[in-house]
């Protein structure tokens, strides 16, 4: 198993993994064009885990100059509980740290109890004072 930087060539496999993973919500923002834009804007911060040429884990990571953001962390069911999720997150956090980004945020579905347990165990705290709001720009 190898952890390496995500490239656009990984898109089809990564999207298939996300779509097959309970707890990950995919949408317009995950098409090839938008992932290309994301990877270009945040070079070297998103990672995949690969076993025998199969992508068995993936995570998107970026920052806005102040704070980092992780999205769509997923590990294939048959590869879970081997530390792969933790390794993917650590790769992202190392990348953010190297860029001087001091804190990282994630968005987790409230209903994703299993995912929430993973983040809690990994030391992530819930910001109970915040809500996530969104508006269409175009």
Ligand X SMILES: CC(C)(COP(=O)(O)OP(=O)(O)OC[C@H]1O[C@@H](n2cnc3c(N)ncnc32)[C@H](O)[C@@H]1OP(=O)(O)O)[C@@H](O)C(=O)NCCC(=O)NCCS
Residues at the interface with ligand X (CB under 6 A): 21, 23-24, 73-75, 80-86, 106, 108, 112, 114-115, 117-118, 121
Distance CA 94, CA 23 (A): 25
Min dist. Cβ of residue 14 to ligand X (A): 13
Residue among 23 and 138 whose Cβ is closer to ligand X = 23
Residue among 11 and 82 whose Cβ is closer to ligand X = 82
Residue among 24 and 101 whose Cβ is closer to ligand X = 24
* Planar angle of CA 43, 123, 121, nearest 5 degrees: 110
Bridge partners of 71, per DSSP, are 60
Q: For the residues of 38-90, what is the DSSP string, one character each?
A: HHHHSTT--EEEEETTEEEEEEEEEE-SSEEEEEEEEE-GGGTTSSHHHHHHH
Q: Residues 6 or more apart from 69 whose CB is under 8 A from it?
A: 61, 62, 63, 104, 105, 106, 107
Using Cβ positions, the residue closest to ligand X within the complex turns out to be: 85
Min dist. Cβ of residue 24 to ligand X (A): 5
Min dist. Cβ of residue 3 to ligand X (A): 11
Residue among 57 and 95 whose Cβ is closer to ligand X = 57
Min dist. Cβ of residue 4 to ligand X (A): 16
């Amino acid at each position: 198993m190898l952890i390496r930087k995500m490239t656009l060539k990984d898109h089809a496999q990564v999207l298939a993994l996300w779509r097959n993973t309970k707890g990950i919500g995919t949408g317009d923002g995950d098409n090839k064009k938008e992932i290309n834009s994301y990877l270009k804007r945040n070079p070297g911060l998103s990672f995949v885990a690969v076993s025998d040429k199969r992508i068995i884990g993936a995570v998107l990571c970026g920052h806005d100059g102040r704070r980092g953001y992780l999205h769509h962390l997923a590990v294939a069911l048959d590869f879970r509980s081997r530390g792969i999720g933790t390794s993917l997150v650590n790769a992202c956090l190392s990348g953010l740290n190297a860029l001087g980004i001091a804190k990282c945020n994630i968005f987790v579905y409230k209903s994703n109890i299993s995912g929430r347990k993973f983040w809690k165990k990994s030391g992530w705290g819930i910001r109970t004072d915040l809500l996530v709001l969104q508006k269409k720009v175009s």
